[in-house]
Amino acid sequence: MTVEPTEVEAAAARTIFGPRLDLAHAYAQALATAGVERGLIGPREAERIWERHLLNCAVLQELVPADVELGDVGSGAGLPGIPVAIARPDLTVYLIEPMLRRTTWLREIVTELGLENVEIIRGKAHIVAESGQHFDVVTSRAVAALPTLAEWSMPLVRKDGQLLAIKGDTAQEELVAAAEVLTALGAASSDVVRCGESVLDTPTTAVRIVAGRQGQLPKKKAASAAGKKAPGSGAKSRAGSSGSGSRAGAKRASSSPGRRR
């Protein structure tokens, strides 16, 4: 099965992915074939790979500063992390995913595409947070309702960093529902933003939360973590085993966890 974008989608893809458009095509093809066969996306999604998955996710990069580390929580088939990494080779993108079959897929596709700016961490978000690792930007899509997602993801965000969660029409409602949780987690500000308005017929809606302090585990999880050895080196060794390039590894080595570069 060959998946080709419509004329409108192709024009948007050229703008978003630029000289790395071939990588986006290869990723779309992999999602529509092996991704469906292995249960990473539904069979009905194959016909709307470009609009619903690649372009919808890639435009999130408009909100991401240059040359930063980005953690993609609950990455699944690599969404939104891989489209963002293709569009923005200046970023170091960590795909955070607990399920073995999904991380196996992610390692395979990252190697196949030769994405030297992508690494993989197999683990749940709170386990990565227990290791002391933090990111300038943390992204997610279709992982959980915002109050729960914030509890999982905000501990991973560096001070003044951002949590960017792709949401739909309920974004504002979820933001209101999460207000108390966000205050407790040290959020400095939050808003609903739309990305890709100049290139997409239907822009992507996202919630943006700026961290007012270095990410910290909620008290219950922190107390639980204090009683056992933090797996900091383990999380990083798993990331390094993804087959990603030396450039990303060098970036990580030069930036100690929990300290903004």
Could you list the residues known to form a binding site, using ranges: 74, 79, 141
Burial 54-81 (b: 16+ CB within 10 A, else e): bbbbbbbbbbbeeebbbbbbbbbbbbbb
Instruction: Answer yes or no: are the C-beta atoms of 80 and 141 closer than 8 Å.
Output: yes
Phi, psi of 34 (to 5 degrees): -60, -35
DSSP character string of 187-245: EEEEEEEEE-TTT-SSPEEEEEEEESS-----HHHHHHHHTS---HHHHHHHHHTT---
Cβ-Cβ contacts under 8 Å for 79 (sequence gap 6 or more): 53, 57, 141
Nearest by Cα to 31 from 105, 141, 88, 96: 105
Binding residues for S-adenosyl-L-methionine: 74, 79, 141
What sign does the dihedral 112-143-139-60 (CA atoms) show?
positive
